[in-house]
């Protein structure tokens, strides 16, 4: 497979949130504000990149029978390291994410990529796959949190995690028109349900468009030999 394709497939064609519907716990829990979603997405990307590299590097040493426990220990180690780094450099963000930072360990995406990709491919490919899937996850979190924060508060605020300064705070419409339900617990489920339904609704037209393109191509191929002859 081409390198660029490995990278982009995690973002678009097999996006962990929108296409595969994996790792939903952090998606629901950390998307109530744009800044926390950004922090969570970056943490997951870093973990995914490192675990993919490590697991790909040791893939020939690990006996097949015990590979899952080995992967879990590698993942837990990487998550511990990332958690310590975040507690040291971004203490407020680490406190906000709390338990969701620790339970990246049991996120299905991480073990899923380790098992499905990193255990079979070279280190460079696994690195690209890890970054691609991580960025796809980050993009999904950002889109959902953007919708939730804007509809729920009427403004979009971004807090830079290192120095805790507010980088921008844009008010799109007055607070009293905002539906604050969307920043609460029930709103998380509701927004994700609406997103899932819109993706389903878009699937039909996209498929039809693809079919049409394929038909056109077929027609061209079919027409060519005829003109040549």
Partner 1 sequence: MNLIVLAISAILINNFILTRFLGICPFLGVSRKISSALGMSLALILVVFSSAMLSYGFYFLVLKPLGLEYLYLVSFILIIASFVQFVEMFMKKYMVGLYKALGIYLPLITTNCVVLTVAIDVATKTNGITGVGFTFPEAIVYSLAVPVGYMIILILFSAMQEKLQINSKVPAPFKGNGIALVTAALMALAFAGFGGLI
Contact pattern for partner 1 over residues 191 through 210, marking x by CB under 8 A? -xxx-xxx-xx---------
Residue 83 in contact with partner 1, rule: CB under 8 A: yes
Smallest gap from Cβ 78 to partner 1, in A, equals: 10
Residue 124 in contact with partner 1, rule: CB under 8 A: no
User: Under DSSP, is residue 216 helix (H, G, I), strand (E, B) or coil?
Assistant: helix
Choice from 4, 13, 102, 164 touching partner 1 (CB under 8 A): 102
Choice from 20, 53, 58, 103 touching partner 1 (CB under 8 A): 103
Structure-token match 């426990």, residue found = 69
Residue 25 in contact with partner 1, rule: CB under 8 A: yes
Choice from 53, 67, 77, 156 touching partner 1 (CB under 8 A): 77
Here the tokens at position 12 are 């678009």
**Distances from the Cα of 198 to the Cα of 139, 188, 203, angstroms:** 17, 15, 9
Contact pattern for partner 1 over residues 26 through 65, marking x by CB under 8 A? --xx------------------------------------
Burial bucket for residue 27 (CB in 10 Å: 0-12, 13-18, 19+): buried
Residue 76 in contact with partner 1, rule: CB under 8 A: yes
User: Under DSSP, is residue 155 helix (H, G, I), strand (E, B) or coil?
Assistant: strand
Residue 105 in contact with partner 1, rule: CB under 8 A: yes
**Distances from the Cα of 182 to the Cα of 33, 171, 185, angstroms:** 10, 17, 8
Q: Which residues make Cβ contacts (< 8 Å) with residue 140, sequence separation at least 6?
A: 15, 16, 17, 18, 27
Q: How many residues does the chain have?
A: 229
Residue 91 in contact with partner 1, rule: CB under 8 A: no
> Which spans of this chain sit near partner 1 (rule: CB under 8 A)?
21-25, 28-29, 68-69, 72-73, 76-77, 79-80, 83-84, 99, 102-103, 105-106, 108, 111, 184-190, 192-194, 196-198, 200-201
């Amino acid at each position: 497979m081409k390198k660029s394709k490995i990278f982009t497939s995690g973002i678009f064609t097999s996006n962990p949130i929108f296409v595969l519907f994996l790792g939903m716990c952090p998606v629901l829990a950390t998307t109530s504000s744009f800044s926390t979603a950004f922090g969570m997405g970056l943490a997951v990307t870093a973990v995914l990149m490192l675990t993919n590299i490590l697991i790909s590097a040791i893939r020939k040493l690990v006996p097949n029978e015990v590979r899952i426990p080995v992967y879990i220990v590698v993942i837990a180690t990487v998550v511990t390291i990332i958690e310590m780094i975040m507690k040291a450099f971004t203490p407020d963000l680490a406190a906000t994410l709390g338990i969701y930072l620790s339970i990246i360990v049991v996120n299905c995406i991480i073990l899923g990529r380790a098992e499905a990709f990193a255990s079979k491919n070279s280190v460079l490919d696994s690195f690209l796959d890890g970054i691609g899937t991580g960025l796809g996850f980050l993009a999904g979190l950002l889109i959902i949190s953007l919708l939730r924060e804007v509809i729920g508060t009427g403004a979009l605020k971004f807090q830079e995690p290192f120095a805790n300064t507010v980088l921008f705070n844009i008010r799109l419409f007055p607070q009293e028109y905002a539906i604050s339900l969307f920043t609460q617990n029930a709103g998380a489920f509701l927004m994700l349900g609406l997103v899932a339904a819109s993706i389903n609704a878009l699937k039909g037209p996209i498929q039809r468009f693809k079919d049409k393109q394929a038909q056109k191509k077929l027609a061209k191929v079919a027409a060519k030999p005829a003109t040549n002859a």
